[in-house]
Each structure stands twice: as structure tokens, then as C-alpha cells.
Structure 1
């Protein structure tokens, strides 16, 4: 029985994002990005026309459903974009980002999008690899686009995937 406890792993449900998810999403965003989006910014985005999101909520938690990750997307006039995606550091490379992206890709297609775009920091090898495995390809590069806390700058890759 004790061995089962030591090997216990969290399971996550991918569910549509709600207003009540904005505070934990903001906190997670701050853990993963140099500039944290405030709860208000996340809430304002989620309330805009065409914006949708998904959360990974732990389904086998004992008292609450902790947020393991989230994705925010927008669809307008047949084009969609990933606004942001974040997965908890301890959950990286567990497939949670893949599942969140799949949910966003499906929803964008249902809403009529024919293409999906995203921007990713060039030196974020794990994210670039994920997006390539999902069928995205680089269509542009923006030099010195991202600023880190120490003032250094890095390029953004603009990636695209056809949905139809």
C-alpha cells in the first residue's frame, strides 16, 4: 500500500477555461514567463470575442483540483492563434502540453479556423519540438522579440499549421 503512494501520479482532465481559472492561470504564467499576465489580463482576454481556453485540472486530487496547465487561443475570420500556453514545471514532458494543444486545435477548427499560428522563443527547444510534432512549421523569425529578466533578448519563431 505504501509503495502505491510513492508511485502515485496526478491525472488531469482537459476542460474549457472559466473565469475562476484566471487567478491560478496568472500564477502559473508568472512561473513560466518573464512577464506574468495578471489575473485581470487573463480574465479580459478570456472575455473577448473569439477567445477560448482550456485548463488541465487534476482529477485525482483529494481536496481541490489544482491547475496543471492552460492554453488561451483566439479565432477570428478563419485564422486562429495560440495566445499563451503554460504547463507546470514539474509536469513538463508528461504530455500535458500536447493534450492542451490538441484541445485548442480541435476547438479552433470547430470555430471555422483554417490555420493556427503561434510564436515561440527560439531557444525553447522543448516547445519548438512539441509544435513541430503537432505539425507546425516555421514561417517567420522575429529577432530580439523576447526580453528576459536579465535584459538579454531572443528571437521569436512564428509557426503555422493548416487545420483543414
Structure 2
């Protein structure tokens, strides 16, 4: 497995993973809008250079926010998300980022377990933050990792 920055040529593969990995996935436009100088976006590829996961992270001054992390469902459960997030954290530390923030669905127990393992702290709850496929809303757990 290789972890490297995303490129414009990656959007189709990122979009396919996004559609499969998330309950309410981002649009192609949202993916494309979260690129540029203020972002540290990484992909993880297999030995055939096929993208199997990605992370989208925005940096502002000494803080960063993980907007999205996704692993192709066929590859979930193999600690690839952990590898990707650890690499992201390593690169953020090199950029002198002090805090990495994220929101996670209250029902996403596997993601919360990973974030706890990596040292994130629960900071707050955002009520009715995430949309659900049935038109309702789900709370978000706000977490922070102090780098």
C-alpha cells in the first residue's frame, strides 16, 4: 500500500469510493471544491495503483479539520483507514498544526473506536448535524486531537 497526495486525475476513483463508503455521500462537485492550497488530501493505493481510500483535510493557520475519510468497502477492516489517518497526522505535525478536528456520526462506532485509539478526545455534540437517507437528522460527535 502507498499513501500519497491526491491529484485532479483521482476524482473519478475518489467519487466511486465516496458513493460506496458513505451513508449520504458527497457529490462530485463537493469533492472537487475541497482541493487546493489550504488542503492536505491523501490517497491510499494498492500494488496496482488503484485508489482504495482517501482523506480530505483542510488547514487554516495552526488548525486542521478532517472533512472526509473513506475506504472502499471491499478493503474495510484491514486497518487501512488507521494507516491513512496516521500518515495524515504525521504530515500535519510537520506543518506545525496544533489541533486536528473532526465530526463523526454518533452511530459510526467503528470510526469512533479508531479515533479514540489514535488519541482524539470528544469535545462536543452537534445536534441534528448529519442528514440520513430517510430525511431525518443524526447527531455528530465533535472530536479533537491535540498534536
TM-score grouping bracket, smaller chain normalisation: over 0.9
The correspondence for 1:127, drawn from 100, 111, 117, is: 111
Q: How many residues align?
A: 147
Shift in Å, 1:82: 0.4
Structure 1 runs (4+) deviating above 4 angstroms are none
Larger-Rg structure: 1
Shift in Å, 1:34: 3.5
Q: Deviations over 1:116-135 (max 9, x none)?
A: 10000011000000000010
CA–CA separation in structure 2 for the residues paired with 1:43 and 1:148: 23
CA–CA separation in structure 1 for the residues paired with 2:80 and 2:136: 29
CA–CA separation in structure 2 for the residues paired with 1:159 and 1:118: 5
Counterpart position of 1:20: 9
Asked if structure 2 preserves the Cα contact closer than 8 Å seen for 1:75 and 1:111, the reply is no
Q: Which moved more, 1:38-47 or 1:100-109?
A: 38-47
Q: Deviations over 1:19-63 (max 9, x none)?
A: 11122111211212243323333223112x32011111111x3xx
For normalisation by structure 2, the TM-score amounts to 0.93
In structure 2, stretches of 5+ residues that fail to align are none
Counterpart position of 2:57: 73
Counterpart position of 2:22: 33
The correspondence for 1:52, drawn from 11, 17, 40, is: 40
Query: RMSD over aligned Cα, in angstroms?
Result: 1.3
Q: Which moved more, 1:143-152 or 1:122-131?
A: 143-152
- Taking the TM superposition and a 5 Å limit, the aligned residue runs for 1:3-18 are 12-18=1-7
Counterpart position of 1:151: 135
In structure 1, stretches of 5+ residues that fail to align are 1-11
1:93 is aligned to 2:77: yes
CA–CA separation in structure 1 for the residues paired with 2:82 and 2:23: 22
